[in-house]
């Protein structure tokens, strides 16, 4: 294989490298729980949420909605300085639930408090594609003139039959529309996809690489399906385990590499696998491996296979 395409010599396009070449330093994300909810939980679209969803499983200990945003940022910086000592600038990551699902004036107050912090260089907003509108996007494009702004959409699957089965309550076409409208405003567009959802074959999942490559997204997070306690999917898994084809670690490593080979090399990879505290999991097929340890194994295998992201990409 020729030399990897990126300056840091990694075999996929990393967010760390993007930050270094764009801002000259690492930008570390700090999760913020600003007390949002979701139209799929508050009765607007539904009451039970997506079948796999348990937001508590992804919240750091410092991230609690009863705390002010400023307090969460301060505690988040202290938390991360022990792990990422080189981080000097931070992104406020509005993560749990749908973080555009309030009136615009409320959003301005919440985002404004985060951006007023001297250590915050920008915001990332995790949300559903059906919880955005042009007025909110116009406001975010104004912020983006002076700060890093990323809007991260949960796509989860490119197949409407899957989205219906997991009670997502929006279509893939809704996600495409939101992504395009966001990109038109020159905002940084992130996307999230889950591998292993019931009803999808490995071939179905690999085919999503071409679909996603054609969208104007800047970054992508890849997750393997994990069955979480106290979710609808936990019951489905216990009642019909044959519907689930969960990846072993070895299978996932090979699959993700296959997927990356087909993916547009311009798309930044923010995450290669998901990580949930073991107490939230119904089962732990990968043991106690952390996401960064899985990433090391993926990169080691990519080197053995003499491959990189985009090796077989074609428009």
Q: What is the pLDDT of residues 2-27, one digit of tens each?
A: 555 666 789 999 998 998 888 888 88
Number of domains in the chain: 1
Mean pLDDT of the chain: 92
Q: What is the structure's pLDDT at 276? A: 87
Q: Name the more confident of 120 and 82.
A: 120
**Residue 3 located in a structural domain:** no
pLDDT at residue 190, as a whole number: 98
Percent of the chain with pLDDT over 70: 93
pLDDT at 287: 84
Mean pLDDT of 44-54: 88
Is 5 domain-assigned? no
- Provide the pLDDT for residue 270: 96
254-283 average pLDDT score:
94
Contact 52, 233 (CB under 8 A): yes
Does 137 fall in a domain? yes
At 56 the pLDDT is 67
- Residues spanned by the domain of 243: 15-305
Max Cα-Cα span within the chain: 53
Band the pLDDT of 80: cuts 50, 70, 90: confident
Q: What CATH number does residue 238 fall under? A: 3.20.20
Local structure of residue 267 (DSSP, 8 states): S
Mean pLDDT value across residues 284-289: 85
Where are the extended beta strands (E) located within the chain?
27-32, 89-94, 120-127, 148-156, 188-195, 219-224, 268-271
Question: What pLDDT sits at residue 210?
Answer: 98
Mean pLDDT of 85-100: 88
Token pair 């988040």: residue: 76
Sheet bearing 120-127, strands edge to edge: 27-32, 89-94, 120-127, 148-156, 188-195, 219-224, 268-271
Residue 4 domain-assigned (yes or no):
no
In a domain, 87, yes or no: yes
Q: What is the pLDDT of residue 313?
A: 95
The candidate with the shortest Cα–Cα distance to 264, out of 209, 193, 184, is 209
DSSP single-letter state for residue 273? S
Residue pLDDT, tens place only, 141-187: 999 999 999 999 999 999 999 999 999 999 999 999 999 999 999 99
Q: Which residues pair with 190 in a beta bridge?
A: 152, 219
Q: What is the pLDDT of residue 293?
A: 95
Asked if residue 296 is part of any domain, the answer here is yes
Say if 143 falls within a structural domain.
yes
State the residue for tokens 């992508």. 220
Is 144 domain-assigned?
yes
Q: Is 306 left (phi over 0), alpha (psi -120 to 50) or beta?
A: left
* pTM for this model (two decimals): 0.94
* pLDDT over 90, % of the chain: 75
């Amino acid at each position: 294989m020729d030399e990897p395409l990126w300056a840091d010599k990694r075999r996929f396009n990393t967010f760390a490298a993007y930050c270094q070449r764009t801002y000259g330093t690492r930008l570390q994300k700090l999760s913020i729980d600003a007390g949002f909810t979701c139209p799929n939980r508050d009765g607007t679209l539904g009451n039970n949420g997506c079948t796999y969803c348990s937001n508590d499983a992804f919240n750091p200990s410092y991230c609690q909605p009863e705390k002010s945003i400023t307090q969460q940022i301060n505690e988040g910086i202290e938390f991360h300085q022990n792990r990422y000592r080189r981080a000097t600038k931070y992104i406020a990551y509005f993560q749990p639930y749908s973080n555009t699902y309030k009136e615009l004036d409320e959003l301005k107050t919440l985002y404004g408090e985060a951006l007023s912090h001297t250590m915050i260089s920008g915001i990332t907003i995790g949300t559903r594609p059906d919880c955005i509108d042009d007025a909110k996007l116009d406001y975010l494009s104004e912020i983006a003139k002076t700060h890093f702004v990323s809007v991260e959409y949960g796509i989860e699957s490119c197949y409407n039959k899957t989205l219906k089965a997991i009670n997502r309550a929006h279509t893939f076409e809704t996600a495409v529309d939101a992504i395009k409208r966001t990109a038109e405003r020159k905002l940084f567009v992130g996307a999230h996809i889950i591998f292993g959802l019931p009803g999808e074959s490995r071939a179905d999942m690999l085919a999503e690489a071409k679909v996603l490559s054609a969208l104007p997204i800047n970054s992508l997070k890849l997750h393997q399906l994990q069955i979480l306690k106290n979710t609808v999917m936990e019951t489905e898994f216990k009642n019909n385990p044959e519907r689930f084809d969960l990846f072993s670690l070895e299978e996932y490593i090979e699959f993700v590499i296959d997927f990356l080979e087909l993916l547009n090399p311009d798309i930044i990879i923010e995450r290669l696998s998901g990580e949930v505290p073991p107490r939230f999991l119904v089962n732990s097929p990968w043991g106690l491996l952390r996401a960064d340890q899985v990433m090391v194994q993926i990169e080691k295998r990519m080197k053995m296979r003499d491959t990189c992201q985009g090796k077989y990409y074609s428009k």
